[in-house]
Structure 1
């Protein structure tokens, strides 16, 4: 029999511990799923890692209803929170909300018949689950899925599960609301019983909020009948307690002034950097790409050296924004918090499942400036809930009307693109809204989310720097003085202005806290992380590619072309590289013009594979003659079809989903049908097949 020495035993013990930790996901040690989770997560009742068994979590917290969410930008999480709150206040349900990635699902077959599950599910990209819903989605749709009692799909293992479903989608994408549709089918196939219709909200049509409100009332009626619920008068019951701290000053070392977690509070930068933990990155370079004064397009180089962040062409960089000072001032003023803005407050969940969305103790100013989406659209439901806290009867009457009259709300709020502080100002401009509990603000205004931008560089060319290309956003409201400014792009503009010598950057009168909390971003820094994408070049560089990217949609294609130029320079065979680019005027907003012209010249010299070809479309170059990329596509239909049919080229689209991307899709189907002598329907089928096989890829937004 073999003898084990001390080293053997140590190795075996380590392997055993690692194996147990892997299969239990750390539950035996109470370790958070994210090892860099902040200490405040535990202080607020979110026992991360304590159990991945949802039924145990519900039992421990005495809940009979769980509202799961699959969310990419925070909107689905917001709706889940609202449903949980309404279920509790109107119907006495004992609710909790749950992030889908925090739990396992093998034991859903033991879900009691007297409990409820809600699923609020956003569809991300081209019909994909959100990042936090991937494992759940694959589990419930898996062909060989097995539950805790050994049951498979044929056994209808979820026959006791009663569920409610609402989806968040965008009709400008081909796979509209596919997440909720597919989950609904999968759960039903497994024997679960859906209560009411599966709701679908449409962000593409701008009706998400009204779709949600129209769906939920019939849903509550169906649920009341099914479960024997009794509706009661809804009275506001806070989820969070807000305690003003007389014992702490704002400059105390334990007070969070905008830092996202404890490491940042203590002045440490520790990876891995992700959606919970940004890297405070230096901006190495910034410049304007447009030559006109009334529009801005920024090129920035983000330095990631030493961070262990990595990227590939086609990935996204997430920018963590800061709210504009003007809007922060407006917000604290309308709530009557000006004199208390730097008062330290502790926020605590009154329910063991309530998760405070930011670290505490903090200040009112820091919470509003760094953590709450105060510039976002307002819901009718939120305004209705604030009516009880109006400063006078006339304001209360107006808030009730705004909350109950869909058309009136649309005219006065939605069409004016007003944020919550602007609404309150217009309803009552003389008196401050001091009766509004700060707890309801935290509950109803979602956490500010990172914004994702296509990376416009190649890691083969600059692995330690990430380029971004961003048009500075604004919406001018017709017939109104209100101009809505993009939160993140104007923040970036302010950073650019500071880098170029403006001591007090003030883009459009917005002002920003450029130096960050406690001046930790001094020296022109920005919080970032990287999100990897499926929008990728073919693994074989000899394969041709066709790219369609008007405006800032050209960003990832700059990275693609850089990469193929580098591959060619390294001696690899690079296939034909074709770019369709459009803008308004060649002398005003033709981004990277010099680079494209240089690459085209290099192509002639055969230093970029077989060729680089640029087709341009200028929509306002010639009066009365608007040219768009889809027209250039049609003009070069023979080349496009040949590259697709004979050389199996990859086809890429980046930019506006609602108009350009949809029209390019239709134009390509027409090109294929005409040049292959087949019907338009068959051409459309071929394009769908290209999408399914990833020969056709999109990185689009609405």
Structure 2
């Protein structure tokens, strides 16, 4: 027998690895080892190596309703949990909530007719699935999709499938709610039977919560009729068991004090670093680009060298925030938990499919400080649920009215920009709400989510450092009892103050725990990970680019121009690089002014920065006006296949720039606006027109 040489062995090992990956669908290495290490169940009770067959899972746990979610920021997951809980409380459904990425869907054709499946799907970016919904979406959108029985699409393989669908979208994006709309189309083609209307929530209009509440009532009516369900009086039943552990000390090394997973509890910085496992990164540099009476702007350089984190120009960095101490103390006080804030508790699901959103054992303080979105707007459904636990009958009546009357709710709650603790404190005049089960708070408040910022540095110029540019947020409304302070930006401001020598940084009296759980963020550190983006420079640097970015929308364009200047310094030929930038006043908030001048020296006539100062003249001048002023040049460059980029506010600026570009193309090329709109859509489809926008 001929002896195998090294190349033969390498090939055989590669074939073996590929074969195992195919038949296990990557179970063993497509995801990192469960960082909770047994401290809590993997999503919905699914641990590594367990079945990815959701029907089998439902049978094992006696369920007749599953609610799948595709979520990027946690809102869709929250709505899925609320639907599951409401279905159980009002109609006796045996529900479970499930992450789409935890299961396979070849057996959808075997789903029993007497059971129901919900899909709560957020649309991400330009009509894309959320990260956890990618595999599911690719499967059901495949024209040649094959299910377990081998039936073709025209044979209607999903004719036994009864489903409910709700989408979360933003009408300022072109592909508004495309995920739920496309799912509906796919399932209709495959024979699926939708119960009720497919709901659509609109974050762009600020009506997401009311859209959800308005959709679900007729949906429940249709579902009850279809499945012969009888509604009963909904009584709160906890999803989680919260047990005090008096014999455990909070300083024991098995108690989580805010660490996101077992790696961090053990003090290990182990990758891959992602939305479940941040890297505690040192802040190499921080400064204020400007400071005005009502706002200030931060520039930070975050050191990721040696972490295994890589990024490419145009990506986003996720900052993991910590809640402000002022609001942590307020919530603990209003719930009557302040005396036992550092008591150890163990949290577990009362149902094997319940997903605990943080590791335990832990403490009340750690949960509220590091894991709950305590400063988010209050939902009307949460008010209705809490009414039963009001400290007095008068407050209960007021809470009930708020929950039932949306106009009254908006006047008394939403329009005042109060968070939950602030609302409860106002209603009870500071008296504690000590009847509220802590389980209800875990269920009713979102898990705190990382905040994403466009990276304002080039990976070519500084691969080991990530720059961010952020306005410290502050929202004040007339008549509101509190000014809303951005959770993450004020946290970053406190870190900046600490780095510059303030021993007790306390921006706006918020007081952050800057050293992290067990003081593990020694020095000036922040938890981060990187999310890759499709917002990219053309691969050919000779291609012209046009960038529109007012305010901090200029962040990724700083990176783009930085990269092109570096390419030019190396002797590479770069194309025309045109930036349209807007701010208030040259002397107040003109971001990176000196850098643009330096890049102009390097790039010469290849670079132009056109600035709109909105508050310097008798008339307000915005980037849209500057774009119109240079319409001839823009049209000429677009005809040369220039790439067109927009970054900033989606609701007004980005939408207006899109409309303006259509108008420019129509006028300069002598075509109808309908034809110009087709041209712009074609540019989007080919990535010649790219947006990095937020609402």
User: What is the TM-score normalised by the length of structure 1?
Assistant: 0.96
1:540 partnered with 2:540: yes
8 Å contact from structure 1 (residues 345, 360) kept in 2:
yes
8 Å contact from structure 1 (residues 201, 208) kept in 2:
yes
8 Å contact from structure 2 (residues 635, 665) kept in 1:
yes
Distance 1:116 1:686 in 2: 43
Q: How many residues align?
A: 693
Distance 2:598 2:571 in 1: 19
Q: 2:627 aligns with which of 633, 636, 659?
A: 633
Q: 1:662 aligns with which of 638, 655, 658?
A: 655
The CA deviation at 1:367 is 0.1
Q: 1:690 aligns with which of 677, 683, 690?
A: 683
Match of 1:189 in 2: 189
Match of 1:358 in 2: 358
Match of 2:257 in 1: 257
The CA deviation at 1:598 is 1.7
Match of 1:570 in 2: 570
Distance 2:13 2:545 in 1: 52
The CA deviation at 1:245 is 0.4
The CA deviation at 1:36 is 4.2
8 Å contact from structure 1 (residues 41, 48) kept in 2:
no
8 Å contact from structure 2 (residues 425, 431) kept in 1:
no
Distance 2:286 2:34 in 1: 31
8 Å contact from structure 2 (residues 565, 603) kept in 1:
no
The CA deviation at 1:266 is 0.6
Distance 1:187 1:43 in 2: 29
8 Å contact from structure 1 (residues 44, 349) kept in 2:
no
Gaps of 5+ in 1: 605-609
Distance 2:537 2:30 in 1: 36
8 Å contact from structure 1 (residues 44, 352) kept in 2:
no
Match of 1:701 in 2: 694
Distance 2:12 2:463 in 1: 39
Distance 1:5 1:469 in 2: 54
8 Å contact from structure 2 (residues 43, 98) kept in 1:
no
Match of 1:41 in 2: 40
Residue 9 to residue 613, structure 1, CA distance change in 2 (3 Å): closer
Match of 2:616 in 1: 621
Alignment of 1:238-253 (within 5 A): 238-253=238-253
Match of 1:221 in 2: 221
1:642 partnered with 2:607: no
Q: Deviations over 1:387-417 (max 9, x none)?
A: 1111111111111111111111000111011
Residue 5 to residue 588, structure 1, CA distance change in 2 (3 Å): closer
SS at match of 1:269: coil
Residue 42 to residue 615, structure 1, CA distance change in 2 (3 Å): same
1:57 partnered with 2:57: yes
Alignment of 1:8-407 (within 5 A): 16=16, 19-25=19-25, 33-39=31-37, 40-42=39-41, 46-49=45-48, 50-407=50-407
SS at match of 1:358: coil
1:435 partnered with 2:428: no
Q: Deviations over 1:391-444 (max 9, x none)?
A: 111111111111111111000111011111011111112420000000010011
Residue 139 to residue 379, structure 1, CA distance change in 2 (3 Å): same
Aligned-residue Cα RMSD (Å) equals: 1.8
SS at match of 1:463: coil
SS at match of 1:51: coil
8 Å contact from structure 1 (residues 291, 587) kept in 2:
no
The CA deviation at 1:296 is 0.9
Distance 1:18 1:628 in 2: 54
- Greater shift, 123-132 or 523-532, is seen at 123-132
8 Å contact from structure 2 (residues 642, 688) kept in 1:
yes
Q: Deviations over 1:605-624 (max 9, x none)?
A: xxxxx5100100011012x3
Distance 1:689 1:43 in 2: 42
Distance 1:152 1:474 in 2: 55
Distance 1:273 1:595 in 2: 32
Match of 2:646 in 1: 653
Distance 1:44 1:639 in 2: 53
Residue 531 to residue 6, structure 1, CA distance change in 2 (3 Å): closer
Distance 1:300 1:13 in 2: 45
8 Å contact from structure 2 (residues 319, 452) kept in 1:
yes
The CA deviation at 1:2 is 5.9
Q: Deviations over 1:649-671 (max 9, x none)?
A: 00000000001000000110011
Match of 1:607 in 2: none
Gaps of 5+ in 2: none
